[in-house]
Structures are given as C-alpha cells and as structure tokens.
Structure 1
Amino acid sequence: MKTAQQWKACYLEPAFQAQYTYQGKDLGAACSGKGTSFLLWSPFADKITLNLYRDGGEGEPFLQQPMAREEKGVWAFRTEKNLHGIYYDYEIRIDGETKRTADPYAKACGINGRRSMAVDLSLTNPIGWEEDHAPEQPAERIIYEVHVKEFSWDPAGGFPSEYRGKYKAFLCEDTTLNAEGKHPTGIPYLKELGVTHIQLMPVFDYGSVDEAGDPADFNWGYDPVNYNVPEGSYATDAARGEVRIREMKEMIQSLHKNGFRVIMDVVYNHTYSLDSWLQRTVPWYYYRLHEDGSVSNGSACGNDIASERPMCASYLFNSVLYWAEEYHIDGFRFDLMGLLDTDLMNRIRTALDLRFGRGEKLVYGEPWAAGKTAMDPGFTQALKANFGKLPPDIGMFCDNTRDVIKGAALKPEEPGFINGRPGLEEEILDSVSAWCGGKAIPVKAPSQILNYVSAHDNQTLYDKLASTLEKGADIRKACRLAAGIYMTCQGSLFFLSGEEFARTKNGLDNTYDAPVSLNRLDWTKSLQERGLVEYYKGLIALRKQLPGLCDKSPNAVQRISGRWNKPGAVGFFVDNRAEGRSCRWETLCIVYNSKSTPERLTLPRGTWELLADGESSFLWKSPVRADANIAAAPGSILILGKTAADEKNCPADLFSGR
C-alpha cells in the first residue's frame, strides 16, 4: 500500500493534474423528474459499488449497483428513475483496501450524515421560495453573530417548546419574554436592535453532536462532516434528509422577510475527522502533509484542507456557489481563512460578483491560522500580511482594533485602551480610519475591515472587562465606551449576540462544547440590562446616518482630520458630507476618553449639536446645542455634529491644554 508521502508525490505530478482534473459541476447525486445520476471522483479506485437504502440510518441495501469508470477519474451510475428520498453510500476499493463511505458531494443525508440521500431540490422549497430575495443593501453593515441553538434555547425567550434550538425558531415573529409580555425576544428584538446582517455560526452538517441524542447536546459546530448539507440537530426531524433542507430555507426566507441579510460561517480549512468521506474517496489528496509525511495541523483541529489542489479548490469553490444559489445565502465568513490560499479566495470573490453583481455577496474571514501549514509550493496563504493580494471586497476580522480597544483576546489579563493600558492612543486613531495608509496592515479600503470587540471565541466583552478592570469599576460604562469606539470607526461593524446585554460565560474563553445552559442567550438579561441595550440601539441608529464613517471607498481615510491624542484620550474630525445626499451634520467631532478625569475641549465656530455621550446614544433625536467649551466625561465617548459648513478647516490646535 502507498504511504501518505507517495500519494502526495503522485498528486503533485503535472501528469496527474492533466489527466484527472475534472471540470464538471455535476459530481454527487443529481435528482429530478428526468432521472437520477450518481457521479463520484475517485481516480485511483479499482472498483466502486453504489449501495441504495430505504432508510438513512440502519438496514441493508435493497440494491448494490456497480459503477462505471468514466473520464478524468469519475465513476458514474445513471437511471431514468427519480430516486428522491433514497439513501446511498459507496463501497470503494483502492490500493487493495475496501472502504465504505458516504458521498463527499452529497446535498442531503440521513441521521448523523453516515448515509447520503438523493434529493430533488425543487421538492424542498418552502412556499414562496422562488420570490425570496435579500432586502436592499443597507446604509451600513451591522453584523450580529448567532448560533441557531443558543438563539432560542432559553425557555424565557417565549419560543414554542418544539422549536427551541431549531431552525423554525427564526420563523416566530411575535416572541416576548415570558416574565414580561411586552418585552420582545427573537426576531422582534433583532428588528428593534437595528442590526442588518445575521451571521449564523456553522449550519452545515457537523460531527460533534449526535442528531439522535439528547436535544441539549451542544457544540459550536466547527467540525464539518458534510459540507453541502444542513445540520440535522437544528431540524424538527433529523432522520428525514429533506426536512433539514426545507427548514433551513424557511429560516433564511423568514430572516429576509424581516429585513435581515444572512451570512453563513463556513469552515473549509479542516474536517471533523481525518477519516472523512474526502479521505476515503481519494486518499491524502484533500489534506496537507509535511515533508516527513506527518499531517499538517495549522488548524489545531487535527488536519488542514489542501485548498490549493485543483479538485479541492473546485470542491470548495462549488460549495460556496451552491449555498449562494440554492439557499440564497448573502455572504460568507471563512473560519481560519489564513489557511486557504489567495488564488481560491480571489476566484470565489470574482465568481460571486459575476453571478450576483459586484459586492452583492459579502466575503470575509479570519486572516490568521492556528499554526504553520504545509501549503503546496507556489501558493500564498490568505493571511493578514498578504491582504495586498486580495481585492478590497474581501474583508477580515480586525484583531488589531479588537485588541487595542479592550486588550489581547489571547491574554485574558491584558488590558487595552478602555481598561487602562497606556501608550495605545496612536493605534486607536489608526483604528478610526480602518488602518488605511498605515504600515500595520496592508489595507486597501475600509471595506476590508470588520471592527469588533467580541465574537463566539475568546471571552465575551463583559468577561474580558470584568477580569481586567480595577475592582469596583463600572463594567457597563466600559462596555459603552468599547461599543462607542468600534461603532465610530470606518469599516463594517460586527458583534456577538448578547454583547449588548452584558453577556457572560462566567469568564470561560472557549465554550465550544460547554453545556447549552452556559452558551444559550439569556433573554432575561436583555430586560435586566435594558439601559445597555438602548445604548447599543442608539449607536446603531446613529451610525446609519453618518456617511463619513460608513464610507467603504479607498479615499475614505481622507475624511478623517485633526487627529490628536494625549495620555488616555484621543479625538478627531470626520467629513460627513455625501454626494447626492443631504446630511444633517456636515462635520463630526468625536472624542474617546478612557481617563478617570474629564477631557475638556473648545469647539471651533459653528453650530454644534450633541449627538451622543457616555450616558445616552440617543441625544441626536432631540439634539441640544453644544457649548463652545465642553468636556468628554471620564471613561466616555463624546460625539458632536456641526450643522453648517465652516469656511475654514478645523484648526489643528482645537483642543485645550496642548
């Protein structure tokens, strides 16, 4: 039998690539009224048998059908019968060894993904699916990260018991807090909050939760099994392959109807197990190996997908297009995008633009890896340092902004600007202009930057501040300052569900398999922390009215002027005008004060209105004229807007005491 190194050497031969790179998009099971086809790419198989089953879990096959070898390493079986709802797997003999495998190209599956299912996708569409479409592009991208089970698990959320933790919870449009009937939860709450995009944590079929087990079993889902199949534990019936498809489509349809665009968290950098369907069909083709034959583990999850190899690249590329076309997904968040290659990312971006219109689908990801990876020679990782090789319409989570605001995510005890670490003022100001023009990150435009201070991994914002602020400090006040900073930086905005009501995970920073009782959204806190929620709502609503901050163009940095800083405080002006659009405030003045004392300033001539401060983010609704001499309160943000254009530029020595 060949060693892993021998397999790798074979795949890197130009002759192999020329002989076995299949260009078709029809791999997998295609099922319609015209018949059913099964196509599998396995170039070194000696024999493949297709097994057909009535059941997706147990039982023997009712038919075992030898498959025929065709060109480019593809094996096929075709029939005029519509086999919708029939389950299948393959027996493959390679290099003298026979293995049973599900279909890596499957679009439906049975319980726990062990058997694939032939599906006529037209029969899975909910009523009105053909008319489903995303809402219009919003004035700003405000992305809210949600886990399907976390969203509706809390009984206090008012969701029907049979929908708790399920896709169908997103169809409920009248949920309220059980303890307070007038307080919205779920979809009504998100509409009031004002977010524009819902980023769903993994909803493809993953391996760490038993779909036939305890409904309370929990995992984040970053362990792919079937890349093109929805996760079954979120469906009301995981045993029927078509149900999970229909219910996921219903969820997306509901989110669209309620004004949200939908982003899918995709994990194309590794699989749940090295013994995957990919590995069983083409040994060692889809995985990276070091020179000594050891498995590359830049994901820290046991393996790295070889995105640079032609058939692997096509597999991932077609998967993205499939979710966008079949499920109407509006954007993709790439987990550990730094493990993928820039060629693939550029190819995906170009294809989405050609198919749906430039920028219609969002593409962004984590521009890092968990460790070194053994990428084949001649390719470049999509790391932060290599972002110059990606177009402006591929974005990244900006850990620079995150860490300078609140402290390093990987160092729980390290503070940032808002919790007392000195010397970060210039970096805070670089965050304001999305790091454009600086040397820290090769950024082309604010469109490449996602500003955030919390996500599903690492500590929640509340927990980070609780562990770094002095005892007795006002944590919620610091939360308001953190939100005020990243929501007034150029770039797109992102935050973890529940950040706005002081979500806590008791200080734990990696709760991927912790009980759902810890991970679930505690809807009672959305009422208990109503003041903080209102502060977020006001910032979000204000942000949508500020074109100077919403500008994603390469020239947006030119809107920022009059930057200044002193220990613990910074300030700047923003040109808030927009061509062809009347703006209530032509110039903004923004101050971040992390000190324990006020920061006083003298405003230039003109009519200035107070839009937000550390206590209220809704001052702009009934603006009060600001005094020429004003102060940013301790540990607070101050946002002012000038209502009439000034003949002269704002003076560089505007602020007192300098």
Structure 2
Amino acid sequence: MKSLKKILFILLTFCSFQIHAQSFTGEQVNQGYAIFGNQVSFIFDELIYDKQPSRVVVTGAFRGWDDDLDTQEWDLKKTGQQWILTLDNSDYKVIGPTMEFKFRINDGEWLGPSPVSKNEKGGNLVFMMDAVLPGLKAELKNENLIWATIIGDRPLDPSKYLITNAQGDTIKVKGVLPNEATTTLIVPAEPLNKKRVYYLHMPDQELTAFCSFDGWFRETYSTKELGANIDNGKTTVRLFAPRATGVKLYLYNGKDDKKAEEVVEMKVDNDGVWEAFFDEDLHGTWYDFTIHGYDDPGNLFYETTKAHVSDPYTRVSDDTWGKCRMWRRTTPATPLKGGIPAMEDVISYEVHVQDFTDRLPVDASIKGRLAAMHKTGLKNSKGQKIGFDYLVDLGVNVIHLMPIQEYLHYPTDDWKASFENDEYMKSQGVSEENYQWGYRTTHAMAVETRYRTVGKEAGEERNEFRDLVQAFHDKDIAVIIDIVPNHTAENMDGNNWIFNFNGIDKQYYYRTKDLEHIGDYGNEVKTENRPMTQRWLIDQCQYYIKEFGIDGFRIDLAGQVDEQTLIVLKETIGLDKIVYGEPWIGSNDPEFEGNPSWDWYKEDSPITFFQDDSRTAFKGPVFKLTDPKTDRGWAGGKSSDRAAVMKGLENSNKEDKTPTSGITYLDIHDNFALSDQYGGEKFDGRTSVDQDNYKIAVTLMYTSLGPIVTNGGSEIMRSKADAPLKEVFKTTNKGYKVYMHGYRDTYNHRTANQYAWETVGQEPQSGNTNDYKNMLAFWRGMNELRLSEIGKVFRLGTEVPEGYYQFITPKNENQLGYIVDNKVFVLLNVDEKSNKFDNIELPEGNWKLVANNNAVNIQKGVKDADKKLSKLKGGKQNIEMPATSLKIWVKQ
C-alpha cells in the first residue's frame, strides 16, 4: 500500500485547555495558531503585531466573516504579551484546513497578517495552509465515465467502488484506470443519466462524493444570442438550460394575464440552448417559462416547485416579480467626443439615482427617477444650482451610477400593509414602499423598473436611461454603472425565491455545497467551470455598451468573480473602458479559494481595485467609530499613520504596481459617511463637522497618484446620521425578512441617504456650524486643480520615477510636506497647535499659493493670513503652519 502523498496529522502527547504562552513555538506564534490534538489555539502576539490592544477577536471563513463584536465567544484572553483562545476542533468542526482568518482589535480594527507570518494569502492568515487530507472528489463526465480525484489509498479494483443515485439505487463499477497520481477514471457498469444526481463511494475508506456536473458543464458552451431578440420583423427566443428535460415558453397579451395566449414547446440544440422562432415582431409581448427536469436533490425545476421563471436575458422586467416583456434593441447614446478618460485621469462620482433626485423640485412623476437625474435649470430656495447643473459644475469627469439593473424590491402591497403605521419605518422614509441601493440584481439586462417615469409603459425606462447617458456625454462626462455579478436577489436576507437562475438550474449558475447554496449574501454566482455564466457576465457588460453607450463598470465584490473571467471581460469590452471593483470578500468555496488561477487579491488583481490601505491611512477605519483621536486616520490627528499616508500618496503600498493598480477613495456608499466620521465626539455630521480635518483628508486624496472615486454628497458633507445607529429586524406580513443597520450601512434607509439640496450655498448658522457653501467651493476647486495642466503631476499612469514625491517629515508626525515632480508643493499640519516647517529646500522658480483651508483657486491663487506665503521663490523656506491646516503651492 502506497503511503499518502501528503497527510498532515499533528500528534502530541500532551493536551490541555490551559495552554500558556511559553508552550508555543515561534512558528506557531507567527502563524497565529497552534494545534494540540483535537484542540486549536488562536494566538495573537503583541510583539509581532506591534500593537497593545484592549481586546482581540478572531473571525474568518469559519464564521462566515461575521463582524459581530457583541458576542464574546470569539474573544481571546490576555496572557502576558499574548492573547489566546483555545477551542475543541475535533473533526475540524470549528475551523478546517485552508480556511482563512483574521484578528480584530479594540473596537473592530481589522489587522492584516504580520510580516513574519508565512501562512498569508490575500491579506488573510490561513489555517493549515499546506494540509492535504484524505479525500474523494468526483465529476460526472458523461453517461459512461466519472472522473475522480482520490487523495490517499487508491485501489484499482472496481469492486472497491460503488455508485448510487439520489433514490439510493446502486450501480456497480466495472472499470478503474489511473490517470495521474490522484486522478482516476471510473467506468460504471451501466450508462448514467448525466442530468441526474449520483454519488461515488469508497466503502472501505468511508469516503463519499457527490458526482458534480463540472465534468461536462465546463465543456458546454454556445455563442448563440440568448434572450428574446427582434430583428427584421422576426423574433427569436433562446434560453440556456443544460439539465432541463423540456422548456415551455408562455406568451401573454398582458402582464397580469392568468392564461397564456400561446404555449410553445421549445427545441434544444446540442449545447443545451432551447430555442423558439417566430416570423413576426413580438415587441411588447409578455412571456415566461417553465423549466422541466428531474425531482432530484438540489433541483428547483417545475416538477419540484410548480414555478414559472423569467428570462435572465430579458430587456424588460416590470418590478422583478412575474413575467418579462419582449422589447426591441435600444439605440445607444453617442460616444464622448474626447473619448473615455484614461484610468489615471478618472475623478469618479458615485451616486444613487433615487438619493440624488428624491428632494429635487420636480414633478412627482419623476422624483427618484432617471428623468429627474438630468433635468436642467433646477435651483434651491437660495437660487443655487442643484441636480444635473450642480453635477456639471462640480467638475468631475466620470459619473458612477449605483445599480440601475433591475433589482429586487419587496412587493409594495405587502410592504405597505406591514409597515405603514410603524414609527421606525416612517422615520426612515420606508413605511410606504421598500427602498434599496440595488445590490440585489434580478435581471441584469433590464433597467430598473422604479426608475421609469410614472405613467409610462414598461420598457420605456430603457430610452430614459439612454437619454441620461446622452445628457452626460453632451457635457463630456463619462458614465459607468455598478454591476452585481457575484450574487443575485434570489436568496437575499435569508429569503429564497425563484426568479430565473434558481429555477433554470441552480447547480449550473451557482456555487453550491451538498447541492445547496453557499455565500455570505445568500448565494454566489459561479463563473469558473461555467462558460455560459462567464458569458452572462461579459454579455451584460457588452450589452450596456452596445445598447446604451456607457463607458465602463464598477464591479461589486469582484473578489468573488474568478480572475480569468475578469481578464477576458476587460479584453472583450475594450481596454479603453473604465473598470474597477472591490477585491475583498472571497468565495466560500474552498476549491475557488485554493485555485490561484481563479482566486485573486490586490497583488494579482486583474482590474483596478479599491485601495483600502490608503483610505484607512488618510481618514481611518470604516466599521466602527468610538474615539475621534484614533478612528479618523492621519487627517483626524492619528499621527502614527503618517508613514502609511506617504505610501498612499505615491501609490507605493505593497500591491501597487503602477498608480492605476488601485483607485483611491475616502468614503463610498458602504459604511459611515465622511461627514459622520468627522462629526465631532458623537460622529454625527449633521450640524458640526470638523471641517479643517475633513479638508485635509480631501487634500490627501486629491494630491495622490492615480484615479480617485468620491462618494456623492461628500462635497456638501452629506450625513447619514438620520438613521439611528442600532440594529433593527422586521418581517413583512408575508414573512419576508428585513434587516436595518442604521447609519453604518444605510442600504435600505431612504431618508438618511437623500441629498439635502437646501444645504447647497448654506453658510454657518445658529445650531449648525457646517459651512456647506465653502466646502462645496473647496471641492470644486480641488476638481479643477486635479484636472488642470499642473494637475497632470497626479494623473500618472506609469511607474513612478524615483524621487517623484519628495517628502518633508519633521520629527513631529502631525506634520507632513511633499513636493511632487518639482511642480506642486503641499504642507499639512494635523496638530491641534501651530507648528513650524524649517529648512525646506524649495526648487527654483516662482510658487503661487492655490489652496489653503479657506479656498482653492488654481487660476488666481488664494490669499493667506500670512501674506508673504501667497507667493514664494525657490530656495530655503521656514514656514509656520497654523493648527489643523493645509496649503498647496504650484510652480508658475
């Protein structure tokens, strides 16, 4: 009998729950855990992390990356310089091999691995990183072949194997042949039905594996255009459902019709595409499908659910629930005259259609909707421009729209009946109908129904979205949209529905374990080993380019989309398109995480990623706010973050290969608003933002290299504090679950997210010290500076030359200066007292002051209280900086 290629068992003769610091080896301390028999001890050592926390908590994949700090079962206990938590891990019931984990300290700060930790992957620690345990994996290749991977003893005697189906019937194995050291061909004694569920057993070793469909799914592909498409007066309907035994297409005259006008038995081709052809233009026809298949475990076909499903490729879905509508192709907006901004030139402005338009002085029929987003001539009561004209004047070059693809809203009738008299829901503006940001896509090719003008027919939202894109293009502003391909709405918030993918074939479109969904958000869309799901993601991007003329995409939780799909996506849509996304939160599928061709993080990112290291250094953490002195980054006075700020400015974090590897930001729709983070002792930005610190954080972002993205409304200190910071759980009358998180995550709080347009032009007044007028002017000035000729020093797309940033670092870490490419000179002081910068060697030439705490003016310059600082000549400088101040000079 051959020995195992590699089996990790740690057998120690002593085992006790009372494990003391001196029991651990250096390797155990460095890796963050130790194994003693059936016990695991998590170890946090203050020396290797250079931290002295008041609390240490462990979380990771084994907890679903739960960030709950209210329970104490995951708290480590302090023993000298080490913190320890010891648990029973028999049969790996707590944490299994290759699972990732992380430590959190104090009030929730996340810590990356120590530099001495060799078990690091993607910014996380890995438990038993190199472990390979006995196991069996099986794939159903075709009717006459199972492809098995066997770790451990591999008998070649067919009698040592057995196949069963979902009903418990047995099928013998008649042939076993080795391929590689672990891969093995298993030949059944009788043909299998590759659309059904089977299990492969090795009884002597008590090993059983589900025969996954990967063996033939990964090789099943079609280039045919899917969905309902109308060309030259004829209509073609196609749906990909490889394990279906039949598909019926139902055609209706009206959305609410109970009975179909026609039922068509669709025909299937050799690649699993079901088709129906009509010699007529079916524009406006309503339709849905029934997908027929076996009533096996993990299947949600019609035979199991009696559910009709909608078309994942439909152009029109009227509020998600029920039928779809056939629609002709949309004529796109004309392209930007000057072309799409290069990534290094991007100043992106993230905005939610409903938030932006809810309080605009427009007709009720378009409030919260697409048509209001580009309506011109709007002003508030002070005569200040608001809405579209406001955005144009702001000076950004990219509008980043939060999801506009059809997304889930709970049915209004049920919602209103459940909450119309609920005081909390009334206070949050959500008692009458469900409000959402949109990160729960139901139909990727359809434009969101509730963004259509009231009274217009379903489908007209497509032209309205195209018109919005055209309006921005006419002002030389690019438009990108936020797509959500990592999960769908079918399993959100602990609810389970059948809209499309679940009923078409859950096992094809989603990552599953034991035939059931996995994922932190209810499900995970499976792009690896699924060419047609991979194509669905690429198709939706091409589709929005071809039919609407958009210029790029922000990809939600892109870290859950495999690397190869993102590579081909960029190539297919064109390298001129803007693409960036979130690298964090990987898959809950160990196979995905363990495959370096699929799994990726910032260091090997195939797209521009959100650079959270710079964000945290500039303005602090995002998950919990408790102490203004430590939770607002360097700009808020945390002097120890100065070195990290310098890396953020020049994009020299360890994962930054070029200035466009990451996109810099301060706040985004998630988590706390920037105004609340700088909202004094109570972190409430509604009336008293610490505006000097706020402006220093903005200055850091705008004087950093590479692209930047801003959270819409931050320029007028938009606060979310109208949503109380508490967790609220509700259920609708129909039993749908609703979670409200308060202003740390306002994804379903309407009032807290709305633009307060009356603050535009508002100066400090009694009870409110916020100077909204000045902050907006400051932000506009920063946009003008960055997009000016001199601002090119920050818009660098290639590798950074040595000495490009010349840093000035006095002993006091509250002070920082830098000269960029010998053309821009910045001084910052975050101390609560004035400080002097001595012996600065300024390059020769004349230098004009263009920014300070009061103003930014690239054309005329700004006046300073110290008049001699308005203009400088090159040479040695000694400059006194007031408390919490900023100054920027440019070389003339």
Is 1:638 aligned with 2:887?
yes
3-state DSSP class of the match of 1:589? Answer: strand
- How far 1:24 sits from its partner (Å)? 1.0
Contact kept in structure 1, 2:774 and 2:855, CA below 8 Å: no
- How far 1:423 sits from its partner (Å)? 1.2
Deviates more, 1:207-216 or 1:518-527: 207-216
Whole-Å separation in 2 of the counterparts to 1:118 and 1:474? 50
Contact kept in structure 2, 1:445 and 1:556, CA below 8 Å: no
Contact kept in structure 2, 1:110 and 1:239, CA below 8 Å: no
Correspondence 1:268-287 to 2 at 5 A:
268-274=485-491, 275-287=498-510
- How far 1:421 sits from its partner (Å)? 2.1
- How far 1:52 sits from its partner (Å)? 0.1
3-state DSSP class of the match of 2:785? Answer: helix
Aligned to 1:363: 579
Whole-Å separation in 2 of the counterparts to 1:74 and 1:138? 39
Contact kept in structure 1, 2:319 and 2:409, CA below 8 Å: no
Aligned to 2:427: none
Pair 1:89–1:351, CA change in 2 (3 A): same
1:193 is aligned, of 394, 405, 412, to 394
Is 1:145 aligned with 2:145?
no
Whole-Å separation in 2 of the counterparts to 1:331 and 1:272? 23
- Whichever residue aligns with residue 476 of structure 1, its letter is Q
Contact kept in structure 2, 1:563 and 1:570, CA below 8 Å: yes
Aligned to 2:611: 398
Whole-Å separation in 1 of the counterparts to 2:619 and 2:334? 44
Aligned to 1:609: 848
- How far 1:91 sits from its partner (Å)? 1.2
Aligned to 2:543: 322
- How far 1:14 sits from its partner (Å)? 3.0
Give deviations 1:136-165, integer Å, cap 9, x for gaps.
Answer: 4458311111111111111xx322332211
Aligned to 2:748: 513
Give deviations 1:388-416, integer Å, cap 9, x for gaps.
Answer: 252xxx21111111111121101222331
Aligned to 2:293: 94
Pair 1:481–1:90, CA change in 2 (3 A): same
Correspondence 1:304-315 to 2 at 5 A:
304-308=524-528, 309-315=530-536
Aligned to 1:531: 774
Contact kept in structure 1, 2:229 and 2:326, CA below 8 Å: yes
3-state DSSP class of the match of 2:549? Answer: coil
Contact kept in structure 1, 2:483 and 2:554, CA below 8 Å: yes
Contact kept in structure 1, 2:830 and 2:885, CA below 8 Å: yes
Correspondence 1:519-598 to 2 at 5 A:
519-528=753-762, 529-545=772-788, 546-555=791-800, 559-564=804-809, 566=811, 567-575=813-821, 587-598=823-834
Whole-Å separation in 1 of the counterparts to 2:882 and 2:229? 63
Is 1:68 aligned with 2:267?
yes
Pair 1:599–1:90, CA change in 2 (3 A): same
* Gap runs ≥5 in structure 1: 576-585, 644-658
Is 1:504 aligned with 2:722?
no
Whole-Å separation in 2 of the counterparts to 1:632 and 1:284? 63
Pair 1:161–1:34, CA change in 2 (3 A): closer
Deviates more, 1:303-312 or 1:533-542: 303-312
Pair 1:564–1:23, CA change in 2 (3 A): farther
Whole-Å separation in 2 of the counterparts to 1:379 and 1:470? 41
Pair 1:457–1:594, CA change in 2 (3 A): same
Contact kept in structure 1, 2:378 and 2:386, CA below 8 Å: yes
Whole-Å separation in 2 of the counterparts to 1:159 and 1:239? 17
Aligned to 2:517: 295
Is 1:180 aligned with 2:415?
no
Whole-Å separation in 2 of the counterparts to 1:186 and 1:130? 21
- How far 1:25 sits from its partner (Å)? 4.0
Relative contact order: is structure 1 or structure 2 higher (C-alpha 8 Å, sep ≥ 6)?
Answer: 1
1:103 is aligned, of 311, 319, 325, to 311
Pair 1:505–1:66, CA change in 2 (3 A): same
Contact kept in structure 2, 1:25 and 1:318, CA below 8 Å: no
- How far 1:170 sits from its partner (Å)? 2.4
- How far 1:560 sits from its partner (Å)? 1.8
Aligned to 2:177: none
Whole-Å separation in 1 of the counterparts to 2:468 and 2:198? 46
Whole-Å separation in 1 of the counterparts to 2:334 and 2:646? 45
Aligned to 1:351: 572
Give deviations 1:46-83, integer Å, cap 9, x for gaps.
Answer: 12111001112343211011111212111111011110
Pair 1:9–1:25, CA change in 2 (3 A): farther
Is 1:52 aligned with 2:255?
no
Give deviations 1:353-402, integer Å, cap 9, x for gaps.
Answer: 2xxxx3x21010011117744454645456434x3252xxx211111111
Contact kept in structure 2, 1:613 and 1:632, CA below 8 Å: no
- How far 1:260 sits from its partner (Å)? 1.4
Aligned to 2:234: 35
TM-score, normalised to structure 1, is: 0.86
3-state DSSP class of the match of 1:283? Answer: helix
1:445 is aligned, of 633, 653, 658, to 658
- How far 1:563 sits from its partner (Å)? 5.0
3-state DSSP class of the match of 1:163? Answer: coil
1:256 is aligned, of 473, 478, 482, to 473
Whole-Å separation in 2 of the counterparts to 1:211 and 1:379? 44
Pair 1:635–1:22, CA change in 2 (3 A): same
- Whichever residue aligns with residue 604 of structure 2, its letter is G
Structure with the higher strand share, 1 or 2: 2
Contact kept in structure 2, 1:43 and 1:73, CA below 8 Å: yes
Whole-Å separation in 2 of the counterparts to 1:619 and 1:319? 41
- Whichever residue aligns with residue 203 of structure 1, its letter is I
Aligned to 1:655: none
Whole-Å separation in 1 of the counterparts to 2:392 and 2:333? 24
3-state DSSP class of the match of 1:550? Answer: coil
- Whichever residue aligns with residue 315 of structure 2, its letter is K
Whole-Å separation in 2 of the counterparts to 1:56 and 1:239? 15
3-state DSSP class of the match of 2:507? Answer: coil
Is 1:267 aligned with 2:466?
no
Between Structure 1 and Structure 2, how many residues are aligned?
A: 605
Pair 1:79–1:48, CA change in 2 (3 A): same
- How far 1:637 sits from its partner (Å)? 2.0
3-state DSSP class of the match of 2:376? Answer: coil
Structure with the higher helix share, 1 or 2: 1
Give deviations 1:442-480, integer Å, cap 9, x for gaps.
Answer: 222111221111111101001112256899986112211
Aligned to 1:202: 403
Pair 1:347–1:563, CA change in 2 (3 A): farther
Pair 1:294–1:477, CA change in 2 (3 A): same
Give me the CA root mean square deviation.
Answer: 2.7
Give deviations 1:508-550, integer Å, cap 9, x for gaps.
Answer: 1111111x22211110112221111001011111111211111
Pair 1:397–1:238, CA change in 2 (3 A): farther
Give deviations 1:87-144, integer Å, cap 9, x for gaps.
Answer: 11111111045242111121222343521221111xx44xxx5645465445831111
TM-score, normalised to structure 2, is: 0.64
Pair 1:85–1:372, CA change in 2 (3 A): same
- Whichever residue aligns with residue 151 of structure 1, its letter is F
Aligned to 1:408: 621
